Structure 1
Amino acid sequence: AASGTLAQIIPPSLVLIIMADQLGRSVGDMYKGAMIPGLVLSAIYAGYVFLITIVKPDAAPALPKEARTLGSGVASLLLVIVAAAGVFYAASLWIKSIHPDMDADNNAVWSASIAILFSYVLALVNQKLKLGMLSHLASQVVIVLVPPLALIFLVLGTIFVGIATPTEGGAMGALGALILAISKRKLNLTLLKQAMDTTAKLSSFVVFILLGARVFSLTFYGVNGHTWVEHMLTSLPGGQVGFLLVVNLFVFVLAFFLDFFELAFIIIPLLGPAAEKLGIDLIWFGIILGVNMQTSFMHPPFGFALFYLRSVAPKSEYIDRVTNKLMAPITTGQIYMGAIPFVVIQVIMVGLVILIPSMVMVYKSGGVHLDQKQMEQQLKEIAPPAGDDAPPPLKF
């Protein structure tokens, strides 16, 4: 359940797209800034699970011997990974030689695409011609993983490279998903109807939230409520640190009762101007709030990840198919108690992003970044022509 919430902070994330829109920032920059915090949070999750296996082995028992089927296939899989890494390095050097002006992010995206394509072709040739170069495990892992990775590239890679906007990237992702479903012969009218029905419900849900948020905003702005909120937040003691502490505590409490859509469309527009006035980088601010709002999926009473886990967790005693042992059911209370450490980890991660902003600021490395205030000043200097006068020259 906790690992599922990583989708809210690791690209391609819908939360980050909405956050970028509400804060008036680039989705690509938001994605770049979220990469390191997302990977660090994943590593902390893995470290916590590893620690639990040492301190309390019964909480995460090892697989029984009869269920351990990896065998020697792991070595072959590692060789494929090493070969793909070599292709990635060689491709990056080749791309840099023919396009020396390409920035590091675009180079990495294209190099990774070449490395993934190499692995997929190698696995397919090995499987079709029965060459025996790869183990069954390595072949299956590559063949199963590469299509979803290609789908991610259609959405995320095209946004990073600048080929597509978030809307266009989402459309290409949907088209890619349809092609994958057709190629695997898993697409039928029933599944298509279910997908369209779910999409319509989610879209209606978001549209009505937008309508409600707009009505609230017009009313609130009509009585100058936004000015009062901005003045209150910018007057908090402690400057930027005090503002971040109060805002994150406020968002954390609201996340107990509101979904991230409500928080993003109602609360973020009120917080953004105050953060910008205090000199806070809005990409950094958005990532902090994104990590914070992850907790809304993990704590009661509206933790959706916990509800999903409850729907698949056994509610009564059952016989384990591998060991043939009688297993006890999992209660809702156990699920809630098990989620507490991961909520604490998410809160710790919020603190780390605040204390180490350089994790996010890597989005500024490479490329050309335009300053909004500088652009506004340049536009003001361009006076409109009067009568038959020639337009003034542009000043840059």
Structure 2
Amino acid sequence: MTDPQLAVFMMGLFIAVIFLGFPIAFTLLALSVFFGFYAMDVRIFSLLVQNTYDIMANDVLTAVPLFLFMGYVVERSNILDRLFHSIQLAARNVPASLAVASLITCALFATATGIVGAVVTLMGLLAFPAMLKAGYDTRLAAGVICAGGTLGILIPPSIMLIVFAAAAGVSVVKLYAAAMFPGFLLAGLYLVYVLGRGMLSPHLAPKLPRDETDVSFGVLLWALATSFLPLAVLIFAVLGAILFGLATPTEAAAVGALGSLVLAALYRALTWTRLKEAVFLTARTSAMVCFLFIGSWNFSSVFSYLGGERVVAEFVLGLELTPITFLLLTQFIIFLLGWPLEWTEIIIIFVPIFLPLLDHFGVDPIFFGVLVALNLQTSFLTPPMAMSAYYLKGIAPPQVQLTQIFAGCMPFLTMVFLSMAIVYVFPGIATWLPEVIYR
């Protein structure tokens, strides 16, 4: 067996093993050491140490635990119920007001935390029962929670974009700027769909009784000032510092982490127990990301040494694709990978396979990253492994069926595909802002 054939066998074996349920990070490490020892002898151990050091010394990845800590502290600051209530009051006169409020709250809270499971779970406990009690269609209510909770991996400050920037070697700041308008576009499409369903089928989203929403303007203003405003200021301060060059992503993440502690203290939610939980969850998630990076870096190094990247490049180039068909092919592959895999595995393991081909097809890696970020929304919404649906099912009332949640996700999945098509046709949606700010 030649080295390129061995590289293909190595990739095939990896895919087979992860489908058996083995831990992905350690599977990558084991395969890279086994095949690397065959190809490089004891030099594989020096490579393993060097790659591990390079990843741990990567300044970009320092922002990951800081943003995670910010998210976990905000999650435990008791702001979500106040935020949902205030937005619900503000949107009381629009069709499907409860669903609109839920979607806006999901989007804002997901942006602040970036942790999909936490947002879907918390909103599933707070807003989902409220919509069911108000007589909302179960499928519509479930789709709102699942789709809105996933926006945090797309709208900055997104941890996923940081991981992509580290894997692709591109600027996090430019990637944040490029993802801003596509993120708002997708959130806007979600809102348009919910409003449309509310106007065309009012029985699916009944209006709330007047006695639950009839408050004075002063009460509404105070509710927004004590819930929406503090979180919005924290988010915009972090994003503004990054986008306008006032701070690096790592520095802005540190300020955001400090701001989340201040916010929790103001809401009298900063207890020793909650702080320990936030630190523990941050350490656990950061360790998972770092182990994945170490495993994938070594795996890709051995894969490239054996000639695997050359095999992939020759195969793709042999198809004589145009830039558009190349993008469609790669996005279709990423969409399929989203069924069995988490976004971290897709970004760290499989996306780097396509990165060397971007220059040949004249594709901007920043633009490619935005398309990938949009595409990965589908991994949380597409059965059979729609993780958002499973998060919601775990805390939903017993009468809510998983099939109903899946059905509710389908229209929002269509909105994701529509947003990708719009960005394909009008790439300036992603490229205009970074070109204007960083020309």
**Same-fold call, TM > 0.5?**
yes
- The unaligned stretches of length 5 or more in structure 2 are 1-145
| Distance in structure 2 (CA, Å) of the matches to 1:305 and 1:347 | 17
* Partner residue of 1:348 out of 406, 418, 425: 418
The structural deviation recorded for 1:212 is 2.0
| Residues matched between the structures, number | 294
- TM-superposed CA distance for 1:367, in Å, is 4.4
Match of 1:279 among 362, 369, 374: 362
User: What residue in structure 1 maps to residue 198 of structure 2?
Assistant: 53
Is residue 37–residue 360 contact of structure 1 (8 Å, CA) maintained in 2? yes
3-state SS in 2 of match to 1:63: coil
Residue in 2 that maps onto 1:12: 157
Amino acid at match of 2:211: E
Q: Per-residue displacement from partner, 1:2-45 (whole Å, max 9, x unpaired)? A: 01111121111111122222222211211111121111111111
Alignment partners' CA distance in 1, 2:422 and 2:167: 24
Give the Cα–Cα distance (whole angstroms) in 1 for the partners of residues 385 and 281 of structure 2.
Answer: 20
Q: After superposition, where does 1:104-183 map in structure 2 within 5 Å?
A: 135-183=218-266
Q: Could you tell me which amino acid in structure 1 is paired with residue 148 of structure 2? A: S
Once the two structures are TM-superposed, the CA of residue 285 in structure 1 deviates from its matched residue by: 0.9
User: Quick check: which one's helix share is greater?
Assistant: 2
SS in 2 for 1:337: helix
| Pair 194,368 (structure 1): closer, same or farther in 2 beyond 3 Å | closer
1:219 aligns with 2:317: no
Answering whether residue 314 of structure 2 is matched by residue 231 of structure 1, we say: yes
* In structure 1, C-alpha distance between the alignment counterparts of 2:193 and 2:267, rounded to whole Å: 37
Per-residue displacement from partner, 1:110-142 (whole Å, max 9, x unpaired)? xxxxxxxxxxxxxxxxxxxxxxxxx12112202
1:236–1:242 CA contact under 8 A, matched in 2: no
Amino acid across the alignment from 2:201: K
TM-score (norm 2): 0.64
How far did 1:269 drift?
1.2
295-304 or 192-201, larger mean C-alpha shift: 295-304
Other-structure match for 2:105: none
Aligned residue for 1:260?
343
Residue by residue over 1:277-329, the C-alpha shift from the partner in whole angstroms, topping out at 9 and shown as x without a partner, is: 211111111101110011111123332221222233211xxxxxxxxxxxxx3
Runs of 4+ in 1 over 4 A off after TM superposition: none
Deviations 1:74-99 (A, max 9, x none): xxxxxxxxxxxxxxxxxxxxxxxxxx
Distance verdict in 2 for CA 1:198–1:55, change over 3 Å: same
Aligned-residue offset at 1:364: 4.0
Structure with greater Cα Rg: 1
Deviation at 1:358, TM superposition (A): 1.2
Matched ranges for 1:6-85 at <5 A = 6-70=151-215, 72-73=216-217
**Within 1, Cα distance between the matches of 2:377 and 2:302?**
29
2:379 counterpart residue number: 296
- For residues 205-252 of structure 1, what are the alpha-carbon distances to aligned partners after superposition, in whole Å with 9 as ceiling and x for unaligned? 112211221232122111111122223233434410110111111000
Q: Could you tell me the percent identity over the aligned residues? A: 35
- 1:342-387 per-residue CA deviation (whole Å, 9 max, x = no partner) reads 1121122112211111111113443454xxxxxxxxxxxxxxxxxx
Structure 1's unaligned 5+ residue stretches are 74-134, 316-328, 370-396
Q: Report the AA paired with residue 329 of structure 2.
A: V
